[in-house]
Chains A and B, each alone.
Chain A
């Protein structure tokens, strides 16, 4: 029976654990049990981190382990070099400093936000070897397959002496990062705002955490999801009306995710006004996978929203969420709880619609936020803005979209996710949103990337909404029809003006394209008076003063 006759293999099966124990022994002199004094952190890192290690330096969408990032950027690049950084967010200047100094060499990430231009420069200067720009779920999944961190540098609001961590509303990526690291014999270091006798809630159990350091100042959180209603334009309100009347209503979209743009903020702010007048309350937009957008407050307060699960938090929303546990997920301590991996999964599999904006859309409906000199990375759009082929539960919205895509009745019905791009035909500085070819294709060529970064592939997009109308791509039967449907809502851009006017009118007759007037919407009614709140101050009033806007949004 046995192919091999000898006994157990002679190889060592615990090299990773041995490596971990050696590192911990080398670091012991800088710690008392798990506690490290903040001035000793650079030395601690030099003792723990080895050249070539995979390191996750959170680096989330919102919260930042900024103190640990600054200390890692201070290590001696002779002692620690060629690290492989594996984290979702490359957001701080210190993250790039690691590559400038040679401490880090390889990068796998998801989102870069403010560092997009710096990453492009570092790539061109060969300071970074880029693995891939991932979607969140994809990167988190790879933590358990081939990108498991050796060291995770995490961040929490407070810790106790045993290393139990309380992260409050900004739990974000940490549980998945720490599980992958700790259970594969890696090392976990946490920066915290304060040390306490007992944490309000255990977000990460202490036996997964090796070291805790109290940072001299509170960690940084970017208010990424606050949109000031004062800046919402009439055109954005018009696109919001189109989305509600032309998509949310006919499909009966109840479960959804919104992007972070002003168009979707406008949708949130006209639910209690325009959508209320259409009699849609309770029939649309009841369950969200969504960060706690302040612009959702009026819809929550007027009874539109039944529940919201979040990827992360938003600065200033803590007290409001604590006071609304029927709406938000909260711990026994009362504070909101988030988890980016869970929420990305929820947005992928358990919502019927994703709607978000983008910078460029090509003639096949592919979209990208990458430009020639910016590696912007992805937010949640690629996961939530894709049709999950693994979905096996039905809903009215999903089945209707599936019927439209199939064209004819089939014996084996299958649904489709509604993936909506809502844009204005021109963006900042009169740059056209609709283009013949995406900048990211040129970018991929110039940087020798194997894969041109595409935020949402055209074959996943179901609708494009602009101020000129809605293009329903599910109803297009040929690539040529799809192209004319896109040109037909591309306004006065070159792409829009090069339309075949007759083909576009035919598509309109088939309701592949719907104009505002086809939906009973007069563009002149797209007025700021439709917004349930027209300023941050009015959001604060809607919240019963529970919302505490960040200083930069307090303009009164």
Chain B
């Protein structure tokens, strides 16, 4: 298993008040993303665990674009990858942020 940790400073906090969310599943070609609102408002940490070697640069590019687009301040994001393609990763991250926009009840 490869492990990759990335940290970002964001423009601001992620919208919404939900404390945590899970999207996706760990399956071949898919991934599970856990989002937790536990960090300072302009910080974001992403930890990736993947069985596929040699894609660090792609992961960094996908996650950096995601952070730039959504400004997910306050989020600790844990990715459990099952060999997903970058487009699927980007989609799940976006789905995760949208889920966090919902109010916690």
Chain A residues packing against B (C-beta within 8 Å): 233-235, 238, 424-426, 430, 467-468, 491-492, 497, 523-524, 526
Identify which of B83, B86, B94, B98 contacts A492 (C-beta below 8 A): B86
A430-B52, A492-B58 as given contacts; A234 in contact with B91, CB under 8 Å? yes
| Interface flag for B88 (CB, 8 Å) | yes
State in angstroms the CA–CA spacing of A523 and B70 once bound together. 14
Contact B88 A233 (CB under 8 A): yes
Contact A430 B85 (CB under 8 A): yes
State in angstroms the CA–CA spacing of A424 and B89 once bound together. 13
Residues from chain B with a CB closer than 8 A to the CB of A497 are 57-58, 61
Identify which of A234, A425, A523 contacts B86 (C-beta below 8 A): A425
A492-B58, A492-B62 as given contacts; A430 in contact with B88, CB under 8 Å? no
How many interface contacts (CB-CB < 8 Å) are there between A and B?
A: 39
State in angstroms the CA–CA spacing of A491 and B86 once bound together. 8
| Interface flag for B41 (CB, 8 Å) | no
Residues from chain A with a CB closer than 8 A to the CB of B87 are 235, 424-426, 467-468, 491-492
Contact B94 A426 (CB under 8 A): no
Residues from chain A with a CB closer than 8 A to the CB of B85 are 235, 424-426, 430
Closest-by-CB residue of B relative to A234 is B91
Contact B88 A523 (CB under 8 A): no
Residues from chain A with a CB closer than 8 A to the CB of B57 are 497
Q: Which 6 A-B pairs have the closest CB atoms?
A: A492-B86, A426-B85, A467-B87, A235-B87, A492-B58, A492-B61
Residues from chain A with a CB closer than 8 A to the CB of B95 are 524
Residues from chain B with a CB closer than 8 A to the CB of A523 are 91, 94
Q: List 17 A-B contacts (CB under 8 A).
A: A233-B88, A234-B88, A235-B87, A235-B88, A238-B91, A424-B85, A426-B85, A426-B87, A430-B55, A467-B87, A468-B87, A492-B58, A492-B61, A497-B61, A523-B91, A524-B91, A524-B95
Residues from chain A with a CB closer than 8 A to the CB of B88 are 233-235
Residues from chain A with a CB closer than 8 A to the CB of B94 are 523-524
Closest-by-CB residue of B relative to A233 is B88
Interface size on B, residues (CB 8 A): 15
Contact B61 A430 (CB under 8 A): no
- A496 → B minimal CB distance (Å): 9
Interface residues of B in 36-65 (CB under 8 A from A): 52, 55, 57-58, 61-62
- B49 → A minimal CB distance (Å): 17
State in angstroms the CA–CA spacing of A233 and B94 once bound together. 16
A234-B91, A524-B94 as given contacts; A430 in contact with B62, CB under 8 Å? no
- A240 → B minimal CB distance (Å): 14
Interface residues of B in 70-105 (CB under 8 A from A): 83, 85-88, 91, 94-95, 98
- A231 → B minimal CB distance (Å): 11
Residues from chain B with a CB closer than 8 A to the CB of A425 are 85-87
State in angstroms the CA–CA spacing of A535 and B88 once bound together. 21
Residues from chain A with a CB closer than 8 A to the CB of B83 are 430
Contact A235 B62 (CB under 8 A): no
Residues from chain B with a CB closer than 8 A to the CB of A233 are 88
A430, A497, A524 — most chain B CB neighbours (10 Å)? A430
Identify which of B55, B58, B61, B91 contacts A235 (C-beta below 8 A): B91
- B38 → A minimal CB distance (Å): 24
- B102 → A minimal CB distance (Å): 13
Closest-by-CB residue of B relative to A425 is B87
Residues from chain B with a CB closer than 8 A to the CB of A238 are 91
Contact A426 B86 (CB under 8 A): yes
* Known contacts A492-B58, A497-B61; 4 further A-B pairs (Cβ under 8 A): A234-B88, A235-B85, A424-B85, A430-B85
Residues from chain A with a CB closer than 8 A to the CB of B91 are 234-235, 238, 523-524, 526
Closest-by-CB residue of A relative to B89 is A492
A235, A468, A492 — most chain B CB neighbours (10 Å)? A492
Residues from chain A with a CB closer than 8 A to the CB of B98 are 524
- B81 → A minimal CB distance (Å): 11
State in angstroms the CA–CA spacing of A526 and B95 once bound together. 11
- A497 → B minimal CB distance (Å): 6
State in angstroms the CA–CA spacing of A468 and B52 once bound together. 23
Residues from chain A with a CB closer than 8 A to the CB of B52 are 430
Closest-by-CB residue of A relative to B58 is A492
State in angstroms the CA–CA spacing of A492 and B55 once bound together. 10
State in angstroms the CA–CA spacing of A361 and B67 once bound together. 29
B52, B55, B86, B87 — most chain A CB neighbours (10 Å)? B87
Residues from chain B with a CB closer than 8 A to the CB of A526 are 91
State in angstroms the CA–CA spacing of A425 and B86 once bound together. 9
Residues from chain A with a CB closer than 8 A to the CB of B58 are 492, 497
Closest-by-CB residue of A relative to B55 is A430
State in angstroms the CA–CA spacing of A86 and B93 once bound together. 52
- B62 → A minimal CB distance (Å): 6
State in angstroms the CA–CA spacing of A522 and B8 once bound together. 25
- B4 → A minimal CB distance (Å): 15
Residues from chain A with a CB closer than 8 A to the CB of B62 are 492
State in angstroms the CA–CA spacing of A467 and B86 once bound together. 10
Residues from chain B with a CB closer than 8 A to the CB of A491 are 86-87
Closest-by-CB residue of B relative to A235 is B87
State in angstroms the CA–CA spacing of A425 and B89 once bound together. 13
Residues from chain B with a CB closer than 8 A to the CB of A467 are 87
State in angstroms the CA–CA spacing of A233 and B57 once bound together. 25
- B2 → A minimal CB distance (Å): 13
- A525 → B minimal CB distance (Å): 11
- A146 → B minimal CB distance (Å): 46
Residues from chain B with a CB closer than 8 A to the CB of A492 are 58, 61-62, 86-87
Closest-by-CB residue of A relative to B30 is A233
Closest-by-CB residue of B relative to A431 is B85
